[in-house]
A and B are shown apart, each in its own frame.
Chain A
Amino acid sequence: MRRSRLLWPVLGMPAIAWMAVFFLIPLYVVLCVAFGKVDPVFRSAIPVWNPLEWSFTQLGIVVDRLVGPDNFYLPPVLRTIAYVLIAVAACLLIAFPVAWFTARHAGKHKALVLTLLVAPFWISYMMRMLAWVNLLQNDGWVNKVISLNGLLPTEQAWLSGRPTTVILGLIYGYVPYMILPLFAALDRISPSLLEAARDLGAGGFDVFRRVILPMSIPGVAAGMLLVCLPMMGDYFTNDLLSGSPGTSMIGNLINNSITTPGQSGQAAALLLIVLVVLSAPMIWYTRSTARSEVRS
């Protein structure tokens, strides 16, 4: 029995050591940079390793750029909120009928439809964006179709800083993450429950509003979160489909700070703010996942 008790720690040690060194330390370094000092000459970041000596200089710079007189961080933040809200709502509107059809009406085609719904997960995100860059370029197929192959002067420069293109790109990129959890939730609703509701006199809309909708809430919540979290840090969709500062989001602010020498401190502080804002939904999701694991 003694040997058995020793076995598990020995098996687990490599991974625990790995997570400590390559997961916890990097997150700690982000904190040390975010709460670190600023070089008085070069304005670059100097990490402070001792938490007792942490200062709020970097956070102060970021907060100043958010709400101070020179608030050039504010438009991207507001834009992010607007884009993400629109995109998440659109994802929900697309995902609900598709998930419901797959769960209830697909019949003998269910396996095929599910395979096609999962397919985007196996196609690289960059390739899916590249596909749209091809279609949306000035001589691309979208312009050919809407101008009836050059007959109408309706050609548009889709890829030069249009919010519509960026939002559509976000929807296209992330809607698969909404459909699958929604499908899982809707698929679990027993058909006899819907029958019972109808037997008790509920009309089609009543069944939807009073039975289907409440029972789909866990799936809707999980889907919204899975779509929303990556959108908050996304900068590449924007860079590929717009590339203009006129549509930049929080992800772009962070990425631009990382790639500009001497701006690491602001990047860390921005990241920290995003993490703090997102921590509540992240913790909720972790706990509900852990709970459902225990239940099943």
Chain B
Amino acid sequence: MSGPITVTDEANSLSHVHSAPDNAPRKSYTLATITVIYLLWSLVPVAIAVLFSFNSGRSRSVWQGFSLRWYIWDPEGSVLHNESLRSAVVHTLVLGVITTAIVVPLGVLFALALDRWRGRVPSGASFAVLLSFVVPEIALAIGLLFMITWLATPFELGTTAQVIGLITFQLSYPVVIVRARLLTIGTHYEEAARDLGASPLGAVRRVLLPMLYPAIFVSAILVFADVLDNFVLVRYLSANAASETTSMKIYNTARAAPTPALNAIATLILLASFAVVILGYLAYRKWGRGQGEEGTGLGSMAAM
């Protein structure tokens, strides 16, 4: 009887002996300093770039006072008046909206099919989705470029080609997120609906789909934000100035003495991305109560 107690006592006293001089606080101060320095290093340069989009002078390093000159007022160089800057922002947002509107329904149906359909075709398709996840973007971009160059495709380089490339590249997001949610839902609800007389399609539409809304929503936000950021695909599949996106504009002019208007278009896209993410976060908090899965899904998808 006394044996185990002695052991426990010993363990307790040992843990006290060790945790007292454990200097955990000092260690975490060092770690906290490293983390704070890292966060400053990672975010302050971007904040400075945003700040200089509001510079009233032409410089991107000498502050000459706050103004909306590069957004609105400058008659030639502002985003509002400069055709090519404005079209880059608009085109980026248009690609984001069209791609999201097509890829999310396509991916949700695909996820449902892959989850429930057994056989060689769906497992092959499953593998293709995972492959599209890891194959470097530049490979898909070059492949599509070659395909349009050498095969008689009914579309040419430009917006259509960009949308097609983006859909292919982004399809794995809704598929992976919705499948993860389908795994946790299981088949019970659907079977219950069928027992109560629902048709197979009716069970999917009226029972399964509403339960998938948060996952569908999260994937739409991820796809939209990721399209705004895309560079490799949209550049190889662009045709002319009309299909130039913000990221291409930055790549093409960052080293050629640009004005703060370049910072302004980057800031506008940043705002669009943040607005969608914050909107999504708020909606998700209201909506996804008690559905803990999506949180980890979002984290792991962000890591991709």
On A, residues with C-beta under 8 Å from B are 3-4, 7-9, 11-16, 18-19, 22-27, 29-30, 33, 47, 94, 97-98, 100-102, 104-106, 113, 116-135, 137, 139-141, 144, 159, 172, 175-177, 180-181, 184, 195, 198-199, 201, 204, 222, 226, 229-230, 232-233, 236, 239-240, 243, 251, 254-255, 258, 264, 267-268, 271, 274-275, 278, 282, 285-286, 289-290, 293
CB-defined contacts of B121 to chain A, threshold 8 Å: 9, 12, 16
CB-defined contacts of B183 to chain A, threshold 8 Å: 293
CB-defined contacts of A102 to chain B, threshold 8 Å: 35
The answer to whether A134 touches B49, judged by C-beta atoms less than 8 angstroms apart, is yes
Q: Majority SS of interface residues in chain B? A: helix
CB-defined contacts of B133 to chain A, threshold 8 Å: 286
Known: A19-B129, A124-B247, A130-B254. A12 touches B117 (CB 8 A): yes
Could you list 24 examples of A-B contacts with CB < 8 Å?
A: A3-B200, A8-B116, A9-B121, A15-B113, A19-B171, A26-B140, A27-B139, A29-B143, A33-B150, A105-B31, A122-B270, A122-B273, A122-B277, A124-B228, A124-B266, A128-B46, A134-B48, A134-B263, A135-B48, A141-B48, A198-B19, A199-B14, A243-B255, A293-B183
> A11 contacts which of B112, B167, B255, B263 (Cβ < 8 Å)?
B112
Least CB separation from B118: chain A residue: A8
A105 to B34 CA separation, bound complex (whole angstroms):
12
B85 proximal to A (CB < 8 A): no
Least CB separation from A229: chain B residue: B136
Kindly provide the distance from the CB of A225 to the nearest chain B CB, expressed in whole angstroms.
Answer: 9
The answer to whether B45 touches A23, judged by C-beta atoms less than 8 angstroms apart, is no
B134 proximal to A (CB < 8 A): yes
Most central of A116, A181, A285 by chain B CB within 10 Å: A116
CB-defined contacts of A226 to chain B, threshold 8 Å: 303-304
CB-defined contacts of A278 to chain B, threshold 8 Å: 136
A128 to B47 CA separation, bound complex (whole angstroms):
10
The answer to whether A240 touches B254, judged by C-beta atoms less than 8 angstroms apart, is yes
The answer to whether A126 touches B140, judged by C-beta atoms less than 8 angstroms apart, is no
Kindly provide the distance from the CB of B182 to the nearest chain A CB, expressed in whole angstroms.
Answer: 12
